[in-house]
Structure 1
Amino acid sequence: MIATAAAAHHGWSSYDAERTLRPTAQVLESSWGSPHGSIVIAVDDQRWDVVLAPVSRMQARGLTQADIAVGRTVTIEGYPRRDGTREIRAERITAGGKTVELR
């Protein structure tokens, strides 16, 4: 059961690495926790969930919780889900005046 849960969580193949998205948007919701951070942004009046990296990795690379706080403007570069769900797996984020590699 543990292996199944881990495989389900790390199913990066569900994202389309052939289609890179680069939206710039205001953060509507922000989560700074395990197993990874996440934010919600609005792009063309549609809400998108954005999967970030683990908090420890973001902190080590210079991203802070304040950088992705609600109301901040961020640019995400990442891949959308293949099934059409409005979710992006972020490869990098520009926030707080810096670009941070997440993977």
Structure 2
Amino acid sequence: MLRRSFVWAGLAAPAVALAHHGWSRFDQDRPIWLEGRVAQVKWQNPHAELVLEVPQDLRVPADLASRSLPAQSAPIDGKALLSRAVIPTRKDSRWEVELAPLTRMRAWKVEEIKPGTRVGVLGFTFQQEQGEPVLRAEYLFVDGRVYALRSSPA
């Protein structure tokens, strides 16, 4: 019986690996801004996820580059990312947003986000925008707070 469990676990591992997108697959030279209403939430590992409904008239906020960012343990030039943010060239109205693993979400004290919540996200799309619209979140803006999701708080 134990041997079968290992076989099943081994077969499931590739599916989990495919579902988790590492940072290297994302275009970190092109920060993307999304803002909208949360339609769905998956508060699970390997990372929390949101489905975000964005308006057709999406724009980068005029004050984005001047917003304060929290200190984090990863060496990220957040101010440079904020100043270079653009809206996506794709015009999808729904985006999957990959957040951080739950342990990191807890370290930042991010409460589970509920559907209907308005959020802003600065992050990165796949290096080649093909397939589903997916954004890997670097910064999450919710309820007047900002969370740096690449690493733990400094």
Give the TM-score, by structure 1 length. 0.84
Partner in structure 2 of residue 94 of structure 1: 141
Structure with greater helix share of residues: 2
RMSD value, Cα:
2.1
Q: Residue type matched to 1:31 in 2?
A: K
- Partners of 1:10 and 1:86 in 2: CA distance: 13
- Partners of 1:42 and 1:15 in 2: CA distance: 21
Structure with greater strand share of residues: 1
- Partners of 1:16 and 1:49 in 2: CA distance: 16
Deviation at 1:62, TM superposition (A): 1.8
- Partners of 1:64 and 1:26 in 2: CA distance: 16
What is the percentage of aligned positions where both structures have the same residue?
A: 34
Deviates more, 1:9-18 or 1:20-29: 9-18
Deviating above 6 A after TM superposition, structure 1's stretches of 4 or more consecutive aligned residues are none
Q: Residue type matched to 2:97 in 1?
A: V
Q: Residue type matched to 1:16 in 2?
A: D
Partner residue of 1:72 out of 117, 122, 128 = 117
Partner residue of 1:30 out of 29, 41, 55 = 41
Please tell me whether residue 48 in structure 1 is matched to residue 59 in structure 2. no
The structure-2 alpha-carbon separation of the partners of 1:20 and 1:69, relative to structure 1 and needing over 3 Å to count, comes to same
Deviation at 1:7, TM superposition (A): 6.6
Give the TM-score, by structure 2 length. 0.58
- Partners of 2:103 and 2:148 in 1: CA distance: 13
- Extract unaligned runs of 5+ from structure 2: 1-9, 57-91
Q: Which has the larger radius of gyration?
A: 2
- SS of the aligned residue for 1:22 comes to strand
